[in-house]
Amino acid sequence: MNLRGRNGAGKSRCCDHVFFEEEARGRNVRYLSRFTEETFVKEHAHSRVGDVLGGIRNAQDLIVRFGLVSLWYRRVSVLSTGETRKLYLAHAISSKNDLIILDQPYDGLDVHTRNVLRYMIEEISEGLAQMLVGTHFTKSCHGANGAEESTPLDSNEPTQVLLATNRPEEECMRDVETIDLDDPESVNYNVPDKDEWKSILVNDLNYSSKKMHERLISIEDLTVYSEDEEDTRFKILNEITWNVCRGETWVISGSNGSGKSSLMRNLLHSHERFSEGNSIVLIGPHSIETTDTLLPTINHDDLVCDVLMDSICKLLNLQDEILNRPLNVLSQGEFQMILFGRALMLRPDILLVDEGFHGLDKQNRSHILDILDHLSTSGFLTAVIISHHKDEWLPSSTHKLILHEGSVVRTDRVS
C-alpha cells in the first residue's frame, strides 16, 4: 500500500498506528522511520559494518546490491548519510517480516541506490522476498570480527509493504492501493506572497546585504583520515581545495560515500581555520548544528511555539494547529520545517544544507527554496546545497563541486 499526502496530512501518524496495531496482533513488523534509524545508529555507532550485517546469512544479496562490501571494516559512526541509510535498510529487510513499514525510505540515497531500493520493494511486495535476501546462498557469511551466524527465513508468505513518500515517482509498487490522506477542503497552501515574506526577512528578522565577492571559505589541500586503528584507517577526504565567495551559490554532488557530508562537518567544526569570523549553520536530515553558541538547544518535548519566533512561523506558513504540539509528535516534514526556521532565526553568513529537504512535500520544499534563493541572490547569506535531487538545488546556483571517493573530480560553473 502507498500512502500519499502533504506534510501534516497524517502519513507518519498512520504508520505509527499500523505498527502498534499489527505488533499487538503478534505479527513480525519492521518499521523504518527517522526515529528508528536514529536509535539504530546510536546502538551500532562503534560497531563495524561487517559486525552489523556479517552474521546474517540472508543479507548477502543485499550487501552486494547496496554496495556495502567496500565498507565492511568501517565503523558505523564514520559512514556518510547515504551509507548509513543503506546499512539500515539492508539490516531491516534482511530477515523475514510479515509487514515492513517504510516512511520516506529514499531520502539521502543517490540515484543508483534509489533505483535498487525501488526494485527491492517491488520484489518484496510481489512475494519474492526469499530471492531478494539471498537464501539460495549456502555458504555462511562472516562479520568483521569473524563471527558466523545464520538467521533463516521461516515462511514463504509474501511480505506486506506500507510505503509513505512525498514523491509520486517513488510509489513503486504495482497494482496496490494508494491512499491519499489530503482533505481537499482543509488543505491550505496559501503561503505569504513574496513581498510579504521579503518584508519579514528584512524588517522582522533584520537580514541585510553584505559585501559581495568577499571570500568566505578557503580550504587548501585538506586531507582527513578515519579514526580507526592503523591497519583499517582510510582517507575520508583527499587533498580537497575549495574556495567560496559571497554572492556564489554552490551545489555539491557525488554518490553516497564520496565525502560530501564529511566536507561539511569539517568546515563547520573547524570554521575558525576555514572560514574565520563567519557564522555557519548546517542543516542535515533531522538535525541542525551551528557555530553560534548562543542558540539554545531544543528538546523533543518542547512546543513548536517555544522554539520559533512568531515571524518565523508566519514566514514558513506554519499552521496554528501545530504550534502547540511538542516536537516529538511532528511528522518528518513538519520537523524539518522547524529546523529551517531555527536556521533562519540565526541569520548565518553561510548556510549548509546537507540533504536537509528530507520529508518535505512539494509545496514546502518549493517555499523554502524560494526563500533561500532570495537570501542568496540578495547577498544576505551564502548557500551550499547537497542533494541527489536536482529539484532541490537553488535556481540561482552558480557553482558545482563534484566529489568521488573523497577527492574533487572537478569544479564547474552552473550555466
Kindly state whether residues 283 and 387 are assigned to the same domain.
yes
User: Band of the pLDDT at 411, cuts 50, 70, 90?
Assistant: very high
Residue 135 above 60 pLDDT? no
Residues 6+ apart with CB under 8 A from 243: 215, 217, 218, 219
Query: Average pLDDT in the 155-172 region?
Result: 76
Q: What is the CATH number of the domain that holds 44?
A: 3.40.50.300
| Mean pLDDT, residues 384-388 taken together | 94
Q: Counting beta carbons within 10 angstroms of the beta carbon of residue 86, is it exposed (0 to 12), middle (13 to 18) or buried (19 or more)?
A: buried
pLDDT band at 409 (very low <50, low <70, confident <90, very high): very high
Given the DSSP bridges, would you call strands 382-386 and 250-253 parallel, antiparallel or unpaired?
Answer: parallel
Residues 270 and 125 occupy one common structural domain: no
Whether 145 shows a pLDDT value over 90: the answer reads: no
Which cell goes with 93?
Answer: 529487510
Q: How far is Cα 234 from Cα 238, in angstroms, rounded to an integer?
A: 10
| pLDDT at residue 127 in the model | 57
Where residue 59 falls among pLDDT bands split at 50, 70, 90? Answer: low
Say if residue 273 is in the same domain as residue 396. yes
Per-residue pLDDT, 278: 93
Q: Which of 180, 210, 226 is the last residue of a domain?
A: 180
Strand order, beta sheet including 407-413: 287-290, 280-284, 350-354, 382-386, 250-253, 399-404, 407-413
Look-up of cell digits 503478534: 26
| 186 falls within a domain | no
What is the average per-residue pLDDT within 125-150? 42
d(CA 273, CA 224): 14
Q: Which of 57, 50, 102, 58 is CA-nearest to residue 79?
A: 50
Considering the domain architecture, whether residues 167 and 229 belong to the same structural domain is answered as no
The answer to whether position 402 is within a domain reads yes
Pair (87, 135) in one structural domain: yes
Note down the domain range covering 401.
194-413
* Shared domain check, 172 and 92: yes
In terms of domains, do 162 and 213 share one? no
Share of the chain above pLDDT 90, in %: 45
Instruction: Say yes or no: 101 and 238 in one domain.
Output: no
Is residue 187, in this structure, part of any structural domain at all?
Answer: no
Do 23 and 31 contact (CB within 8 A), yes or no?
no
Record the cell numbers describing residue 127, joined without a space.
512475494
- Which residues are bridge partners to 30 per DSSP? 100
Residue of 271, 291, 285 lying closest to 358 (CA atoms):
285
pLDDT in tens, 21-56: 999 999 999 898 888 888 999 999 999 888 888 766
pLDDT band at 148 (very low <50, low <70, confident <90, very high): very low
Q: Tell which of 149, 180, 211 closes a domain.
A: 180
- Whether 98 maps to a domain, the answer reads yes
Question: In the chain, what percentage of residues exceed pLDDT 70?
Answer: 86
Pseudo-torsion of CA 356, 362, 363, 365, nearest 10°?
A: 20
Residue at a domain's end among 120, 148, 180: 180
> Which residues lie below 8 Å from residue 292, measured CB to CB, with a gap of 6+?
279, 281, 346, 348
Give the integer Cα–Cα distance in Å for 81 and 239. 21
- Look at residue 228 in the predicted model and tell me its pLDDT: 66
* Whether 175 and 257 share a structural domain: no
Give the pLDDT score at 144: 52
Per-residue pLDDT, averaged over 245-262, amounts to 93
Could you give the CA distance from residue 171 to residue 179 in angstroms, rounded to a whole number?
A: 11
Half-sphere exposure of 216 (CA within 13 A, CB side): 27
Neighbours of 55 (CB within 10 A): 18
pLDDT tens-digit map of 178-236: 888 876 655 556 667 889 999 999 999 999 988 888 899 999 999 998 876 666 678 89
pLDDT of residue 65: 83
The total of other beta-carbon atoms located within 10 Å of residue 192's CB is 15
The residue-averaged pLDDT of 151-172 equals 69
Confidence of residue 304 (pLDDT cuts 50, 70, 90): very high
366: part of which helix (H) or strand (E)? Answer: helix 362-377
Judged by DSSP in three states, 369 sits in helix
pTM, two decimals, is: 0.85
Task: Pick the range with the lowest mean pLDDT from 119-133, 167-181, 246-260.
Answer: 119-133
Let me know if residue 9 belongs to a domain: yes
Residues 217 and 83 in one domain: no
Does residue 404 fall inside a structural domain?
Answer: yes
Q: Element (H or E) spanning 383, and its range?
A: strand 382-386
Query: Is 129 a domain residue?
Result: yes
Residue 20, in any domain of the structure: yes
Whether pLDDT at 289 is above 90: yes
What is the pLDDT at residue 186? 54
Same domain, 57 and 168: yes
Residues 75 and 206 in one domain: no
- Number of folded domains that form the chain: 2
